[in-house]
Copies of this chain bind each other. A is one copy, B any other.
Amino acid sequence: MARVAFIGLGVMGYPMAGHLAAKGDHDVTVYNRTTEKSEKWVAEYGGSFAATPKEAAKDADFVFACVGNDDDLRSVTLGEHGAFSAMRPGSIFIDNTTASARIARELANSAEDGGFGFLDAPVSGGQAGAENGVLTVMAGGKQGVFDRAVPIIECYARMVGLMGDVGAGQLTKMMNQICIAGLMQGLSEAIHFGKNSGLDIEKVIEVISKGAAGSWQMENRYKTMDDGFYDHGFAVDWMRKDLSICLDEAKKNGTSLPVTALVDQYYADVQTMGGNRWDTSSLLARLEKFGE
């Protein structure tokens, strides 16, 4: 029986830890900043909860984290009650947080000093993907560590790829988000144009969605966009966090991302509209409100 710890029971981590408990022969201990969530999780899935990340990680073979940002991640790993001080040699730390490539490298170095493995392993697929256990995982790290981690990661993922050395998982996730930013603004401008032209958006999408303009976002979001429904999906606050990581990293490697930076500012407009938790497709709501 593998001993597993999971740190961070947010909208993603909660169901991901649940899949680890439900599938395979795993003894799961969870940690969350607010204990109520841990208690609820244990009531639902069994296992146990710990008072600190350090306590959760003690004796674990695999420790997962899915927290908010670099600072949270540093706190639950290297902080006073962080997991790293309790990791035993030969174990593996799998970080599902979307964070910077820099902190991935920093944590991988610490892990190496401690004799345990580290993978940066951000996910895509959103809350629905987490709940259904069909996430995509983009990992960075050593091949041997990756090979040992894949079977357990597959409890909550449909696709798991090793993208390169440590940090490559985070960089891949950034490419993903950069694609989405430009694509989503293009789709929003198109639907805005179409509505102003009196077109039947559903008819249009039916005809163009399989061709050169087609995208996952078009197929999965056109209807809610046409209806002005944004209270679902991947939240603007999270997207801005991710885009901030992209723009920081781009500064470091000398890449200019003009439209990504612009769309990030458009998301700032959406936040001023109270759309912090709206789906990223709410760029259309911004166009409709500000008209530009």
Contact = CB atoms under 8 A, between A and B. Distances in A.
Interface of A: 101, 124-126, 136, 138, 159, 161, 163-164, 168, 171-172, 174-187, 189-194, 196-200, 203-204, 206-208, 210-218, 220, 234, 246, 249-250, 253-260, 262-263, 287, 291-292
A182 B179 contact: no
Contacts of A257: 189, 192-193
Number of copies: 2
B259 A192 contact: no
Given A212-B124, A212-B216, A216-B214, A136 B207 contact: yes
Nearest to A188: B182
Contact of A136 (B211, B215, B259, B291): B211
B262 A259 contact: yes
A213 B196 CA distance: 26
Contacts of A125: 211-212
Nearest to A160: B207
